[in-house]
Amino acid sequence: MQVSIIAAVAANRAIGKDNDLIWKLPDDLKFFRNTTMGHYVIMGRMNYESIPHKWRPLDGRANVIITRQKDYTAEQVDVVNSLEEALEIARNNKEEEAFVIGGGQIYQLALELDLVDVMYLTHVHEEFEADVFFPEFDESKWTKEIIAEHPIDERHKHAFTIFKYIRK
C-alpha cells in the first residue's frame, strides 16, 4: 500500500490558523477531492473537528481519526490511537493508496516515522500568518514533478503550483 501525504503549504510553510485553513482556493480543493476520492483519508482529531459539520465525514472516502483519547467517538468514522493503527485498517481493507491529510502534528508524525512514499504538495506562493506549519523535510530524499500551475484569477486570490514528491 502506498502512503501519500496531501497538503497545501505556503511559502513560509504555513498550513493553518485558529484550527482553520488560511485561504480559499476552490481548484486546489477540487484537486484534493479528486485525488482522495474512494480512498482512506487519515487525519488528526483537530483537523477532523476543523471540517464544517455538513462536510464531515468527507464523503466517498473512509475517514480515520487519530487521537490519544480512549473514549473519543464520531459517527461513520474509525477512531484510532496511532498512525500505525490507522494504516493497518486501510491495509486490511485492501487499500492501495492511503492519504494522510493532516494537520501539522499528523504530517510531522508520518514524516518522522518515515512512512510516506508520495507527497502531493500544493505550494501557495505567498507567506501567511499561521499557528500550524508543514514540517521541514530533506528535499534531497525526494524527486519532484509539477502536476499543475494555477494563476491568480477571480476565484483564487493566490497563485499556486501542485507538485508530486516521490520518495527516492
Ligand X SMILES: NC(=O)c1ccc[n+]([C@@H]2O[C@H](COP(=O)([O-])OP(=O)(O)OC[C@H]3O[C@@H](n4cnc5c(N)ncnc54)[C@H](OP(=O)(O)O)[C@@H]3O)[C@@H](O)[C@H]2O)c1
Measured distance CA(43)–CA(2) in Å, rounded: 16
Decide: helix, strand or coil at residue 54. helix
- Judged by beta carbon, residue 9 or residue 62, the one nearer ligand X is 9
- Judged by beta carbon, residue 2 or residue 108, the one nearer ligand X is 108
CB of 156 to ligand X, least distance (A): 15
- Judged by beta carbon, residue 54 or residue 94, the one nearer ligand X is 54
C-beta separation of 122 from 23 below 8 A: no
List interacting residues with ligand X (CB under 6 A): 7-8, 15-16, 19-21, 43-47, 50, 66-69, 72, 81-82, 101-106, 109, 132
- Judged by beta carbon, residue 20 or residue 88, the one nearer ligand X is 20
CB of 63 to ligand X, least distance (A): 13
C-beta separation of 82 from 105 below 8 A: no
CB of 79 to ligand X, least distance (A): 9
CB of 48 to ligand X, least distance (A): 7
- Judged by beta carbon, residue 34 or residue 140, the one nearer ligand X is 34
CB of 84 to ligand X, least distance (A): 9
SS3 content of the chain, % helix, strand, coil (to 5): 25, 35, 40
In the chain, count of helices (H) and strands (E)?
Answer: 4, 10
Helix 104-112 and helix 83-92, axial crossing angle in degrees, nearest 10: 80
Q: Looking up cell 508530486, which residue turns up?
A: 164
